[in-house]
Structure 1
Amino acid sequence: MKSPQQELYDYVGHQSELMGYDTYDHLPMDSDNTDYPFVVMGDIDTVPIPNKSAISAELNLTVNVWGSQDQRLVIDTIANSLLMIVSKRFKTEHYRYRGMLSGSNVQVIQDTSVPETVLNHVIIQMKFRLI
């Protein structure tokens, strides 16, 4: 059986693919010849929340959206579509989650780490509660 964080990671990645976005679990290599825009599933962390009858948890998932210099509107639209996953409750095979929109955020930055290239990069911090 998968852990709660792995099922959440897989669920969000699958939802991204269902929305029609090229989605990866790592930053594609140059040799992959990947076209922009694309989504990269990032880090996930879990904070256990014990109570009297069960153990719940808060899960924080980072999702990155990458686009070329002229795709700022496109990646912003993708990011907001993905953020809507946090606006509802859902069930995976073994767990139930409630998105926490008020604890999530979206940051848009320009990335110049590739020489002579300007990329648009959105970092989405998604917060969920295991229920």
Structure 2
Amino acid sequence: MTTELKSPQQQIFDAVFAASLSLGYDTYDYLPAESADLPFVFVGEQINTDRRTKRFLYGEVNQTVHVYAMQRNGEQPQGTNRVDFTGMMDQLKIEMRKIKRTDNFKISHGNINDQIMIDTSTSTTLLHGVIEVPFSFQ
């Protein structure tokens, strides 16, 4: 039985997923049902560019990470306040900046972008954070 080498894109996805789990966050590779416990992290979309030379494979992976939490407001004392939510996003960014290697590739990253939105697509108002991390591998 032979074991195939994971693609660099999958190795980066796995490293980001593991970074979220290491912080103790409920982490998914899909958007879970509305009944899922909040807060949670969804390691989502990737945009990939790779180049192969005769000897090497290198390229870029833009990884998107979503963070969802119930918004705390005056009417609902339960939920996550904005300070805790931004702290959660900051911890994720710190952990993703620590990713320097995967099993087979050296990793670097560019500037991390993030945004926070109010999500009213469910019966509960949510905070929805989006973190975009550009990784390079070689």
Give the structure-1-normalised TM-score. 0.85
Matched, 1:125 2:135: no
Work out the CA distance in 1 between the residues paired with 2:98 and 2:67: 21
Q: Choose the corresponding residue for 2:33, options 23, 29, 35.
A: 29
Max radius of gyration: which structure?
Answer: 2
Work out the CA distance in 1 between the residues paired with 2:99 and 2:36: 33
Alignment-derived partner of residue 90 in structure 2: 80
Work out the CA distance in 1 between the residues paired with 2:48 and 2:92: 20
Letter in 2 for 1:26: Y
Work out the CA distance in 1 between the residues paired with 2:12 and 2:97: 14
What are the within-5 Å matches in structure 2 for residues 33-112 of structure 1?
A: 33-49=35-51, 54-70=56-72, 71=80, 72-88=82-98, 90-100=100-110, 102=111, 104-112=112-120
Work out the CA distance in 2 between the residues paired with 1:74 and 1:49: 40
Q: Give secondary structure in 2 for the equivalent of 1:76.
A: helix
Work out the CA distance in 2 between the residues paired with 1:93 and 1:42: 21
Equivalent pair of 2:50/2:57 in contact (CA under 8 Å): yes
In structure 1, stretches of 5+ residues that fail to align are none
Q: Percent identity?
A: 33
Displacement of 1:89 in angstroms is 5.0
Alignment-derived partner of residue 77 in structure 2: none
Displacement of 1:96 in angstroms is 1.6
**Aligned pairs, how many?**
126
Give CA-to-partner distance per residue, 1:55-84, whole Å, 9 cap, x none.
420110000000001122222111111112
| Larger helix percent | 1
Displacement of 1:27 in angstroms is 1.3
Letter in 1 for 2:11: E
Work out the CA distance in 2 between the residues paired with 1:128 and 1:93: 15
In structure 2, stretches of 5+ residues that fail to align are 73-79
Work out the CA distance in 2 between the residues paired with 1:89 and 1:26: 22
Alignment-derived partner of residue 16 in structure 1: 20
- Structure 1 runs (4+) deviating above 4 angstroms are 49-53
Matched, 1:3 2:44: no
